A = this chain, B = another copy of it.
């Protein structure tokens, strides 16, 4: 059975692993959270690429046969560097998420202000315009909105909290003022699926319901298709977890993202 590596700057990518587990039964999964150097979302392309490649090289040394980049920022800023550096298939979260959006949203209209897809993401992902470019390739107009406070709010545990609701109201009001005709929303950061109920409530308040694309699910489906796994023959699915900082925090917060307890997490040092 294949060894599949899933990589993120933190534990948000566990939402991708969670979606992968039932799709590739019997596989061995490696998960690396580069927690010593997170967050990637406010850093430069050069720095994110350096961090992502060194993380991927560790996973390759652990015999990974495929790499799932379960981090929107790393997918936006470093996917080409990763594909160049690694001799195994590499899949990011952006293209699967955009393909899922394309199946739902109307294609581009030439009128200004006519974006049909709204992307919520970190500052670095938005600055890269990776989503807008991937959307344009599928003839979709996208509006990208940076939401720098959402990751800290999720990490504070304020998932269903009045302050988070107010921050979402502000971000969504700003986005909908610029892009009033969007009908599909892409959660462009692996932390955001935990906020989906609150996002849906905020959109309902504004009487602007949208179809929501969680790229974790779309990415897991794309990865499963790529690996073309044979029947598992009943082999047990196994997971090994690695983090570059504080294993205790990783285990505590990670279980909310994985939807189950993390057996054990090994602390590793990638230098720096």
Contact code string A134-169 (vs B, CB < 8 Å = 1, else 0)? 000000000000001101110110000011001100
Contact pick for A271, options B35, B166, B244, B271, CB 8 Å: B271
Contact count band on A: 20 to 34
Contact pick for A155, options B148, B163, B272, CB 8 Å: B148
Number of copies: 2
Please give the distance in Å from A137's CB to the nearest CB on chain B: 27
Please give the distance in Å from A186's CB to the nearest CB on chain B: 22
Majority secondary structure of chain A interface residues (helix, strand, loop or mixed):
loop
- A36 is an interface residue with CB less than 8 A from chain B: yes
In the complex, residue of chain B having the shortest beta-carbon distance to the beta carbon of A244: B47
- A84 is an interface residue with CB less than 8 A from chain B: no
- A237 is an interface residue with CB less than 8 A from chain B: no
Contact code string A35-55 (vs B, CB < 8 Å = 1, else 0)? 111000011100100000010
Please give the distance in Å from A152's CB to the nearest CB on chain B: 4
Q: Which residues of A contact B (CB under 8 A)?
A: 35-37, 42-44, 47, 54, 148-149, 151-153, 155-156, 162-163, 166-167, 170, 244-246, 249, 270-272
